[in-house]
Structure formats: structure tokens, C-alpha cells
Structure 1
Amino acid sequence: MKNTQLKWIFLCVLSLIWGSSFILIKKALVGLTPMQLGALRTLFAAIFLIMFSFPKLKGIRKREWKWISISAFLGTFIPAFLFAFAETEIDSAIASILNSTTPIMTLLLGAIVFGVVSSRQQALGVVVGLIGSCLLVWAGSEINPDQNYWYAGLVLIASVCYALNVNIVKKHLQQLSAVAISVGTFAVLVIPATLVLIYSGFFTAEIIQSEVVHTSLLYLVILSIFGTAIAKILFNKLIQASSPVFASSVTYTMPIVAVVWGLLDGETFRFLQIVAAFVILTGVYLANKRRN
């Protein structure tokens, strides 16, 4: 199958998987702290990938481990905790929409850090997208005054991490298979995630025996296997089959899935938030649109 067809298939599947991830994070946080969620999410995904793909580690050359390690922390480890903390204060649907700024951050950092030339139209898209993000945060704080919308900034930081990661994978790890990159990523993160889990106080009788925690762990296993491990492989394949900006445009359709899940779970989504979401996606479209 040609790359043109493959990239659209990967994009659609990732939209469904990652669009559902936000509600799974919300459900897992009922019985787990953000630190526990981030660490366990990483460890469950690592166990799954290493069990089935351990031999792939042999194909990673010594000089590539540096970039895999950087990619591991920027593209997986840090965002896992940022989203967990963010969703303690803001709705899962809002987090998914703010995450759609990733293509904008990809474009910005591609120009600043990696020397990728941008057009005036793309620059306009960046401005429009950032205005939409500010509008969405303001609208959310007005509609839900009991929620701390400073936590929305954590999602934007995660978007910056993702943007750096896609540029790194495209520039420095293009020659490696997507599975090798993914299993290498989680092999790097096993020790840091274990240390965080121990520090989080997870290993106590009260937590381990709690039925609420057991339910949260079920949601987390689903999130880890599909939303982290399998999605990581698909996303690396998408980056290699397309461009960094196209790969990050998976955030166009993720919010649709996430908003539906949020509404089904009783979250409120008002007209002003719809307008803000439309402004963000317009900015993403302009930033991602090819020049004639």
C-alpha cells in the first residue's frame, strides 16, 4: 500500500484511539493520583511492548540511543504526567482541544529550532490558533469557575513536547522501524517510571486493596496498551510515512471523539467553547495547508 493511503489510515485509527484517551485518563484519575497514573501508564505500555518486540532493540545503533532517549522523555514520559495533572482541574474534552495546538507548535519549533522555512499563511495559522487557545481557556474559566484553568497551560506544554518529538523522530530516527523506536523509548523509561511509582506511595495495602483503584487500573491498562503502546507505533509509522506537521494534524479529529465522550460523561460544552475550538482548528488548518 502506498504511503499516501497508509498515512490516512494511520491518521483515522489514531484519531479514534487518542480521542478516547482523554476520557480514560479522567476515569483512571478517580482512584489514582496523577503521579501514579503517569508512571503506571508508562510501565504497562513498556511491559506490553518489551514482551512482544524485545528483539527489535538489537537493531538500534549506539548513536541512535541518544535521540531515542530524548524522544522518550519529550514524546511520552513528560506528557503522560502533564495530561494527568491537567485533567484533575479541566474537562477531558477541553484538554483534547488544547492538544490540537500540536501542529502549530510543530510549525513554530520547526522554524525556530530545526530551520524549517514557513510561509505567511502558516504564520497566520499560528497566530489564529494561539488566539483560539486563549479564547478557549477564557471561556472555560467563565463557564466552570470552580475549575482551575491555569492547568490548561500544562496541556500546551505537552503540545510543545510533542512538537519537538515529531521533529526529532523525522530528522534523526527516520531510518529506524516504528516498532524499534517505540520499544526503545519504553525501555529507556522503565527505570524512571518505576522510581516515580515508588515515590508516589502506590505500594501500600490501602491503595492496592481498594476496589476503586482496581477499576481505575482497568481503565489505565486499556489506555496504556491502546492509547500509549500501540498508538506510539502507529504514530511513528505516520511520521515516517508523511511529514511532522501532517503527523501532528491527528489533533484535527481527536477533539471530535473526545468531545463526544465528554458529553456522554456529563461534561458541559457551550457555544463559546465551540467557537474557540473552531478558531483553533482554523489556525491548525492554515498552518498545515500547503502553499500553492
Structure 2
Amino acid sequence: MTQQQVKWLFLIILALTWGSSFILIKRGLLGLTPIQLGAARIVFSSLFLLFIGFRSLKDIRHYQWKYIALTSLFGTFIPAFLFAIAQTQISSAVSSILNSLTPLNTLILGALAFGLTFKRSQIFGVVIGFSGTLLLIIDGALSHPNQNYMYTVLVLIASLCYATNVNFIKKYLSDVKPLSITTGNFVVMLFPALALLLSTNIQEIITVPATQEALLYIMILGVIGTGIANILFYKLIQISSPVFATSVTYLIPVVAVCWGMVDGEKLTAVQGIGALIILIGVYLSSKK
């Protein structure tokens, strides 16, 4: 299999995996608070990665640990809680669509902080993408008055975190094995996440059937949707470009919206148009 074929295979696997993560978060929130969900997700991922990747930590040089810590913060820790909190107020489908702004934000941050250059079509794509975002948010707020669309800001912040993470990995950790990066990330996060989880009432409610079912969903999300997926994603960043790697977010909303429809969620026609505008904007901003 050629490197080009491997890149597209990773992209499709990641789209299916991460596209399913939003419905898993929704299911997890039926028995856990957003803080419990985010912390449990990190703990499950950490334990899995330590089991399979502990020996790979020796490949991380001492001066690279500061970048490992930064990528753990921006790539997983902050977004894990932001998405969980956001989905208490907005649907999993809308959350996934807004997440598709990640390549666009990767380009903007790359230009502002990492020396990448803009083309005119890419600037046009940025404007289009944010126009679609505004349309999606405004129509969602009008069509779903029972939902607080101010929480979409949390998804946008998470998208910026992902964009920061990708640029850090490409610039500072391209020579580190993906398993080492991922395991190192979760070694850094394990104890803060565990302390946060134990500071809640998780020990009191762990025998409740709804909590146990929620933890099962989050274990799947942590092991497959976070642990294994991050290894594939970091490998994809290394064998391609930051913008190509984050273009997986073109496909994530397709999978997430399908799951949302199965679960009874609905998008209005205007929101559908907004989603299409976002994807067009992201496509234009990602063109070489």
C-alpha cells in the first residue's frame, strides 16, 4: 500500500471513529456530569495507552516533554471537557459540524504563529466558513429556543485547541513516534484527570445502572475514540500536512449527523445550508 493510500485509509478510519464520538458523549451524559465524563474519558484512555505504550516513552527526549505537555493540554484535556459541557445544551450533530472548522483554524493559527502563508482563495474560504458558522448558530438559536446556543462558543474554542495541537506536533514532534506522543500525552493527564474525577460524587453513584452504562460508553470513547484514534491521527500528521490531517473534519459531520438522525435529532434546512457553507469554506481554506 502506497503512502497516499495509507493517508486516505487513516482519514476514513478517523472519520468513522470520531464521527461516532459525539453520540457516545451524548449517551455518557445520561449518567455522568460533563466534568465526570471528560475526566473518565481521559482516565480510560490513559490506562489503555500505558498498557500498550509504556515502553515507547523512552523515545521522548527530555527537552520534548514540554511540547508533549502542551499537546496533551490542547489536543485532549481542554477539548474533552469543552465538548462534554457544550453537548448539555446543543445537539451532537451541531457540535460535530462546528468541529469541522478545525482545518480553517489550523490554517489561521499556522499563518499567525507558525509562519505559514495565505493565498487569496484561502482568505476567501475563511470568510465563507465563518459566515456559515454564524448562520448555523443564529438559526439554531431561533429554531431551538430550549437550547442555549451560546454553548457553541465552547466548541469553537475546542476547535482552536485542536488547531494549536496539530501545529505544535508538526513543528516540534515530527520525529517522535505517534505511540510515544500519545502515551506521553496521557501520562501527563492521568493524575490531574483522576484527581478531578475522584473530587466528584462518582464513588457514590458508580453502582447506579445509568452511571455504569454511561461509563461503558465513555470507556469505548476513551480507548477507541481517543487512545487508538490519536495514535492514527498523529501518524497522519507526520506523513501528510496539518491541514490534510485536520480535513478529517469534513467527513466527521456526515457520520455524526447520521448517528444524530438515528437518535432522533433534526437539522433545519437553514442549518443544513449553514453546514454546507462551512464545509465549502473549509475546503477553500485548505487548498494548497
Shorter-chain TM-score tier: over 0.9
Give how far 1:195 is off.
1.6
Partner of 2:133: 133
1:31 alignment counterpart: 31
Aligned partner of 2:104 in structure 1 is: 104
CA drift of 1:200 comes to: 2.4
1:3, 1:242 within 8 Å by CA — same for their partners in 2? no
Partner of 1:227: 225
Which amino acid is the alignment partner of residue 118 of structure 2? S
Q: Is 1:80 aligned with 2:80?
A: yes
Tell me the distance in 1 between the aligned counterparts of 2:33 and 2:128. Answer: 35
The CA RMSD measured in Å over matched residues stands at 0.7
Deviations along 1:40-69, one digit per CA (max 9) or x if unpaired, are 000000000101111001111101100000
Within a 5 Å distance, the mapping from 1:65-76 to structure 2 comes to: 65-76=65-76
Provide the rounded CA distance (Å) in 2 between the counterparts of 1:169 and 1:3: 19
Q: Identify the residue that residue 210 of structure 1 maps to in structure 2.
A: 208
In the superposition, the TM-score normalised over structure 2's length comes to 0.99
Mapped pair 1:173 → 2:173: yes
Contact 1:28-1:216 at 8 Å conserved across structures = yes
Q: Which one of 250, 253, 277 corresponds to residue 252 of structure 1? A: 250
* Alpha-carbon shift at residue 208 of structure 1 (Å): 1.2
User: After superposition, what is the alpha-carbon deviation per residue over 1:211-240, rounded to whole angstroms, capped at 9, x for unaligned?
Assistant: 000110111111111110000001001100
2:183 maps to which residue?
Answer: 183
Question: Where does structure 1 lack aligned partners over 5 or more consecutive residues?
Answer: none
Write the distance in 2 (CA, Å) between the matches of 1:121 and 1:196.
44
1:286 aligned partner: 284
Map 1:16-27 to 2 at 5 A: 16-27=16-27
Provide the C-alpha distance between the structure 1 equivalents of 2:100 and 2:188, rounded to a whole number of angstroms.
Answer: 27
Structure 2 gap ranges (5+): none
- 2:199 equivalent in structure 1: 199
Which residue number in structure 2 is paired with residue 144 of structure 1? 144
Deviations 1:100-119 (A, max 9, x none): 00001000000111111110
Contact 1:6–1:241 (Cα < 8 Å) also in 2: no
Normalising to structure 1: TM-score of the pair?
A: 0.97
Alpha-carbon distance in 1 for matches of 2:186, 2:260:
29
SS in 2 for 1:260: helix
SS at match of 1:117: coil
